[in-house]
């Protein structure tokens, strides 16, 4: 009984902070009880009380990021003469190629949608028939920890909710944020260049709805508690179908107040804290990851005091690592690494260097100069990539996102393409896999997929360049060919992951310390939580062989050391070790 009272008191506090002045005490209590019932939280079971600062992850965790139809089987490629549900094909691919090295999968929005490759959701409660059904989702969750998107900021202008909003009917009545052309929206932070307000005709006359991303993606109004209730029902549905991780999409924009920037507002953080309380009490082994593609300092705030997100995207890593490998200098990457606070127990960094979106440049602002960001964008265009821009407050255009397949982004350095594409690509992943945190690996990085120009032409969208759709039979043929780039990438990435998962020093919360080995060698030291294992991760980020003094790494002479990647013994008598262009070493003590 005491646990139930404490929990309801905590939820009431969240709700009072969010809806201060909007709901009475009676309404708040009724809403909190409704949310507890929706989530089916067992308030009688004291054992379900959440353990503070518990790490629900280990070095064995790796998350594959993929669309439900990144791999398809058409009737020309299977003996059944029918198109197979892509989710079944994905499950087959995971079982055949990933089971030994990758234990988690993020299936990007798999719901009916109208645009933005799934992020303009028409119906949150059903699986897109073109992909499969809930049984297919649940089947994947039986063998992989399943990460799902909660597209919480907006939904499709073609959804039933928005249709009902126009008709002033429920559910949907009052669900969407309205403003007027006379309101002061000059300070609103925008990730897009389209007009913020969309004029619509409703049963009550002309209105203007808020569209942070596009006019097909209309923002919810969380001042209406019915919107919160609807989202909590969706969370429960996803839990029932196997979800273990929730990605809160575009969460930074959730709460709006006219006259402000409408990003990272205090009530947005309070909504995250409320969802954390509900989810961890309903399913204590479930993880929340916030997707906040914003400058680094703002991004860090979504950890809260280990009471908001369990994990945050390490958005600054992709542009900084890309800049490092193109310029042959790790100065900025080292400086950023040294400034990053260790994630306290109960939280972790979600590391990635490629995803379904492009490489965001806003998280590099303040870390790279404007000239360096423009130089990075220029290099990507020379390598066949696209550059998406945004408007600043003074009306200027700035690069917002680099759209390019990662393997093409690393085909050369600032002087142009060279013969080190594969080595540079593997170096990037060796660096990322060893870092403090949990790695997220985009399926097209795992497969070494190159730029898809045909898809860009077909969709007219820059992001389509890195959203190729493989025919399964063609993919298998490539992966079976030992001379294929795709075979080499999959094989060597899998080897890195296989080594990573057995090293205690690669626990997401193990100690990390940045090494000072000059501009051309990037290094860091990891130590296991029990302080038994040490790993020195060093990478040559240039195309010149680097000679490294063992004394600069400071290996303890009483220990035996070995490079985990080559099994080469590093003995005390060696004065130097050589790193070939873009070679990495994971030097571990024997214990």
Known catalytic residues are 249
Q: Is the dihedral of CA 297, 343, 61, 302 positive or negative?
A: negative
Tokens coding 185: 């929206």
Say if CB 304 and CB 53 are below 8 A apart: no
Spatial CA neighbour of 106 closest among 464, 443, 466: 443
Residue 497 CB partners (closer than 8 Å, separation 6+) = 62, 101, 102, 433, 441
| Token couple for 98 | 């990933």
The two three-digit tokens of residue 395, written as one number: 């009306």
Backbone torsions φ then ψ of 424, nearest 5 degrees:
-65, -40
Pairing of β 470-471 and β 416-417:
unpaired
Q: Which of 414, 447, 441 is nearest to 428 (CA)?
A: 441
For 182-203, the DSSP string reads TS--TT---SSSS-SEEEEEET
Q: Say how many residues make up the chain.
A: 591
CA distance 386 to 452: 11
Helix (H, G, I), strand (E, B) or coil at 428: helix
Q: What CA–CA distances, in Å, run from 582 to 84, 107, 429, 483, 539?
A: 41, 32, 11, 21, 6
- What backbone phi and psi angles, to 5 degrees, belong to 428? -60, -40
Q: Read off the tokens for 41.
A: 């939280």
Report the alpha-carbon distance of residue 58 to residue 408 in Å, rounded: 31
Nearest to 360 by CA among 380, 343, 344: 380
């Amino acid at each position: 009984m005491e646990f139930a009272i404490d929990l309801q008191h905590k939820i009431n506090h969240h709700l009072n902070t969010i809806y201060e002045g909007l709901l009475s005490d009676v309404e708040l209590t009724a809403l909190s009880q409704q949310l507890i019932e929706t989530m089916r939280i067992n308030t009688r079971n004291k054992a379900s009380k959440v353990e503070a600062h518990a790490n629900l992850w280990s070095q064995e965790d790796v998350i594959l990021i993929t669309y439900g139809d990144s791999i398809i089987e058409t009737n020309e490629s299977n003996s059944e003469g029918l198109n197979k549900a892509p989710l079944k094909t994905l499950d087959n691919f995971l079982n055949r190629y990933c089971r030994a090295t990758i234990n988690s999968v993020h299936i990007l929005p798999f719901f009916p949608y109208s645009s933005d490759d799934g992020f303009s959701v028409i119906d949150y409660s059903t699986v897109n028939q073109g992909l499969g059904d809930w049984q297919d989702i649940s089947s994947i969750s039986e063998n992989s920890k399943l990460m799902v998107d909660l597209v919480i900021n907006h939904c499709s202008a073609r959804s039933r909710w928005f249709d009902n909003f126009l008709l002033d009917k429920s559910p949907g009545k009052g669900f969407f944020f309205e403003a007027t052309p006379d309101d002061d929206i000059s300070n609103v932070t925008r990730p897009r260049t389209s007009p913020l307000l969309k004029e619509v005709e409703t049963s009550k006359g002309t209105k203007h709805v808020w569209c942070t991303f596009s006019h097909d993606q209309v923002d919810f109004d969380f001042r209406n508690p019915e919107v919160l209730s609807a989202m909590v029902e969706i969370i429960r549905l996803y839990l029932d179908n196997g979800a273990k991780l929730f990605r809160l999409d575009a969460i930074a924009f959730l709460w709006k107040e006219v006259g402000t920037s409408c990003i990272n507002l205090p009530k947005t953080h309070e909504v995250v804290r409320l969802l954390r309380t509900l989810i961890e009490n309903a399913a204590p082994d479930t993880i929340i990851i916030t997707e906040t593609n914003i400058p680094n300092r703002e991004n860090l705030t979504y950890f809260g005091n280990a009471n908001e997100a369990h994990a945050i995207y390490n958005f600054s890593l992709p542009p900084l690592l890309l800049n490092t490998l193109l310029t042959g200098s790790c100065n900025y990457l080292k400086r950023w690494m040294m400034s990053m606070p260790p994630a306290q127990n109960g939280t972790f960094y979600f590391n990635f260097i490629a995803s379904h979106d492009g490489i965001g440049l806003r998280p590099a602002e303040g870390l790279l100069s404007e000239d360096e960001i423009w130089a990075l964008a220029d290099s990507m265009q020379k390598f066949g990539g696209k550059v998406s821009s945004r408007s600043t407050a003074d009306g200027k255009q700035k690069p917002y996102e680099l759209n390019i397949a990662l393997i093409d982004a690393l085909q050369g350095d600032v002087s142009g393409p060279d013969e080190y594409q594969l080595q540079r690509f593997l170096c990037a992943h060796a660096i990322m896999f060893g870092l403090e945190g949990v790695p997220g690996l985009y399926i097209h990085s795992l497969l070494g997929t190159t730029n898809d120009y045909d898809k860009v032409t077909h969709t007219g969208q820059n992001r389509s360049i890195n959203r190729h759709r493989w025919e399964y039979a063609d993919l298998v043929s490539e992966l079976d060919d030992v001379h294929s780039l795709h075979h080499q990438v999959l094989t060597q990435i899998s080897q890195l992951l296989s080594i990573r998962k057995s090293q205690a020093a690669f626990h997401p919360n193990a100690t990390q310390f940045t090494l000072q080995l000059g501009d051309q060698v990037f290094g860091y030291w990891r130590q296991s939580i029990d302080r038994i294992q040490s790993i020195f991760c060093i990478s040559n980020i240039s195309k010149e062989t680097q000679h490294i003094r063992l004394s600069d790494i400071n290996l303890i002479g009483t220990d035996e050391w070995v490079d985990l990647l080559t099994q080469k013994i590093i003995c005390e008598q060696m004065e130097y070790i050589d790193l070939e262009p873009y070679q990495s070493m994971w030097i571990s003590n024997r214990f």
